[in-house]
Structure 1
Amino acid sequence: MDLKKVTFYVVSILLVALAGLVYADEIKLDVASMAQTLNIVPTKEETVKIVYEALKAGDETVRVQYVGSKKDIEAFAKSSVEEAFLIDDKESTDDFDYMKNKYRGYTAWISGAGMYTIHYKFDYSETKTQTDWVNKRIEQILKELKIENKSEYEKIKKIHDYIIENTSYDLTVKYNSAYEGLKNNVTACQGYANMAYKMFEEAGVNSRIITGIADGEPHAWNIVQIGDVWYNIDCTWDDPIGGGKHSNQYDYFLKSNKDFKSHERDEEYRTEEFQRKYNMTDHSWK
């Protein structure tokens, strides 16, 4: 913490003391310790980083400080979480889309006045311990598939087929994580998409998780990159319910948007910016 920040917080505390809200001899001026304990972060960037680290670690709670207008605090709390999901550490597949899609939501409450504390409580479909198990299991699976020197297409097909042959769709939608898909061989669309995303990325294939509506219901699927263009792929819908091993389908495998009209993306994946960054193919893979 730089000197300006230290001065700001010490002065703020002293002003509170002078106002008679606390006794001066109760004030602790160990600013470094205070910052560590309270996560005092006067900048938005630092707030987002703290939220990101908490989410990646699977922490259930975290609190951050906010200095500003009370009317803006709700938007600040929400956008800090949203921006944390945009961080993509290329050395890890635990953040970005995977982190966003194993996260169920949060509750937040505010305390204080002038300098506020935002208290977050996060809910996940998969714990950090479970994610660590997923990483080890995927490492084993990719070795078994022997795809290290294969083409992007071959890697995608092998992973697609593995997921379909070893996973059953959970009609109760009770299970929806990659962990449950890999550990218990049963999950819903979110679990399929998370498994595929992490396996594609670990195999060296660029991928994203897309959410939206399919057949009138909330749904999740993937896009993958081959060469300079991206393709839609839905392992869930290519896995016939009750089909079991050797019943693979390729109806939703490496498709263009034109051949994927049953799936409607959420707005964030339909923006011009997103479409420029993820240039979709004009033609499905033949």
Structure 2
Amino acid sequence: MGHTFIPFILVLISFTLTYWLYRTFIRQWTIQRALRQELQRIDALLRRHEHNPAKQFELLDPVYRSVLFRVHPKLKMERGKLEEFVSEELNRLIKSKRSSLWSSVTVFGRGMLTVLMLGIGMASGYVAYTETDLTARFGPVAVESEAMPLLGETYALPSQIASPEELGMALAYHMSRFDETFSIRYIGKTKDFEETMDAAWDWLEANHIYVFRLSRGGESQYRDHGGYVDLDMKLTYDMTTEEAHQIAARVERIVQEMPIGLNDFEKVKYVNDFVVLNTAYNLESAASPYTPYSILFNGEGVCEGYALTTLLLLEAAGVETRYISGEVETGLHAWNLVKLDGEWYHLDTTWNDPVPNQPGKVGYDYFLVSDATLRADHTWEEGKYPVTAMANYQ
């Protein structure tokens, strides 16, 4: 049985005990209160006939019957059991001061124990509530984003954030707005929140790589309040909102200028040639070399800029494309996967661009190649990405 069920078991046990204790407490308290009221009324007579058992019985019998009559409608017990309880309680109260005091202590103790068990039940219920995925109860509801569309896509902010996916959606929303500081309230499972954050970033990378790559990093802090977490983010970006919109406009124009009637292969070749012919590899570019802005407006950049630009252009042209992060001999590297005729192929526009730059020359050594070919000098986490065709594209 998983740990998630433990709080529910505690809730069930504690509330069952609470109910039982409450019933016994109410029963004893009601009977004792009624008896004390009746005994107080005849206290002087009982003292006067302290050594006359027959007279005391004569005085106590009406008390017994009166209490039975008063409490029976309230307690709704079987007549026989009620008579037994009233008789036992009456005997304790008149037997001695010690037994009377003990009876009062018993009532008080049961009352306190009832409150304690109720508290345990409520605490267990709270734990069970916070440990349960709130999405299963309420379901995610998205509200329309106020952000400007980024490359034609408007990102939505979930009305509640209770899963890594919804946390990733919230990050996408704020990052697409280029928010430098923002806060997110997470109401899902708060245990191991750092793992939840990692999963949210993984989701964002897998589903919105362009947004994921907008930021070069930043700071994050979170406060765990027990049932929810407040996350504070402070991010830096490689480009501005205005530059992002300029990129979108430039991508649209480049795609519109493609020759009419190109098939998918021809579109891929067109984009490969366009990026290579209009870009020089340069880490010291005027704008951030990691962005499509530097590639499209300054004609220079590094592998991340090449791969993101290739991604944006091919997606705008209707060709299914992925962005890959991996490594080569010189360090970290980025390139693309392209889907043609139902098969995936690698496309590395950075390595198709001669270094040093040779204007007018385009390489094709890394144009639509298979996993087997690319493994010669590239490595990547293969389980994260689609498997390519067995051979290079022919």
Tell me the TM-score normalised to structure 1 length.
0.74
Q: 1:101 aligns with which of 213, 221, 234?
A: 213
Query: What pairs with 1:165-244 in structure 2 (closer than 5 Å)?
Result: 165-172=277-284, 175-244=289-358
Contact 1:52 1:85 (8 Å CA) reproduced = no
Between the aligned partners of 1:259 and 1:81, the Cα distance in structure 2 is 30
Percent same amino acid at aligned positions? 27
Deviation string 1:24-48 (CA, Å, 9 cap, x unpaired) is: xxxxxxxxxxxxxxx9835225433
Give the Å deviation of 1:216: 3.5
The aligned length equals 232
Residue segments in structure 1 that go unaligned for 5+ positions in a row? 1-38, 88-95
Q: Which residue number in structure 1 is paired with residue 240 of structure 2?
A: 127
Moved more, 123-132 or 224-233: 123-132
Q: 2-side partners of 1:150 and 1:42: how far apart?
A: 43
Confirm whether residue 41 of structure 1 aligns to residue 153 of structure 2: no
- 1:230-252 Cα deviation digits (max 9, x unpaired): 11111101111233331111111
The reply to whether residue 246 of structure 1 matches residue 366 of structure 2 is: no
Higher helix share: 2
Who is 1:20 aligned against? Answer: none
Once the two structures are TM-superposed, the CA of residue 122 in structure 1 deviates from its matched residue by 2.1
How big is the shift at 1:52? 2.1
Which residue does 2:393 correspond to in 1? 285
**Does residue 63 of structure 1 match 2:183?**
yes
CA separation of 1:171/1:106 partners in 2, compared to 1, >3 Å: closer, same or farther?
Answer: closer
* Contact 2:371/2:387, CA 8 A, preserved across alignment: no
SS at match of 1:145: coil
C-alpha distance in 1, partners of 2:206/2:356?
36
The AA in structure 2 aligned to 1:137 is: R
Secondary structure at the counterpart of residue 309 of structure 2:
helix
* Helix, strand or coil at the partner of 1:181: helix
Superposition deviation, residue 119 in structure 1 = 0.3
Aligned-residue CA RMSD (Å) = 2.3
Q: How far did 1:101 drift?
A: 2.7
How far does residue 71 in structure 1 lie from its aligned partner after superposition?
A: 5.1
Cα distance in 1 between the residues matched to 2:275 and 2:200: 34
Query: 2:175, 2:214 within 8 Å by CA — same for their partners in 1?
Result: no
Q: What SS does the aligned partner of 2:318 have? A: coil
- Pair 68,200 (structure 1): closer, same or farther in 2 beyond 3 Å: closer
| d(CA) in 1 for partners of 2:370, 2:284 | 30
Structure 1, residues 42-64: CA drift from partner, whole Å, max 9, x if none?
52254333222112222222211
Q: d(CA) in 2 for partners of 1:237 and 1:227? A: 24
> What is the TM-score normalised by the length of structure 2?
0.55
Contact 1:169-1:236 within 8 A present in 2 as well: yes
1:75 aligns with 2:75: no
Residue 262, structure 1, aligned to residue 377, structure 2: yes
How much does 1:198 deviate?
0.4
In structure 1, what residue type is equivalent to 2:377? S
Take 2:293 and 2:322, find their aligned partners in 1: how far apart are those partners? 18
Distance 1:243 1:77 in 2: 41
Q: 2:184 is aligned with what amino acid?
A: V
Q: Which structure exhibits the higher relative contact order, with contacts defined as CA atoms closer than 8 Å and separated by 6 or more residues?
A: 1
Task: Report which stretch shifted further, 188-197 or 77-86.
Answer: 77-86
Post-superposition Cα deviations, 1:135-181, rounded to whole Å, max 9, x if no partner, equal 101111122232x4211110000110011110010144762211011
| Cα shift at 1:283 | 1.1
Q: Which residue of 1 aligns with 2:15?
A: none
Gaps of 5+ in 2: 1-157
Q: 210-219 vs 192-201, which deviates more?
A: 210-219
What's the secondary structure of 1:129's corresponding residue?
Answer: helix
Label 1:85 to 1:155 Cα distance change in 2 as closer, same or farther (>3 A). same
Q: Deviation of residue 70 (structure 1)? A: 6.2
Deviation (angstroms), 1:199:
0.3
Aligned structure 1 segments of 4 or more residues deviating by more than 4 angstroms = 67-71
Task: Kindly state the Cα deviation for residue 130 of structure 1 after the two structures are TM-superposed.
Answer: 1.4
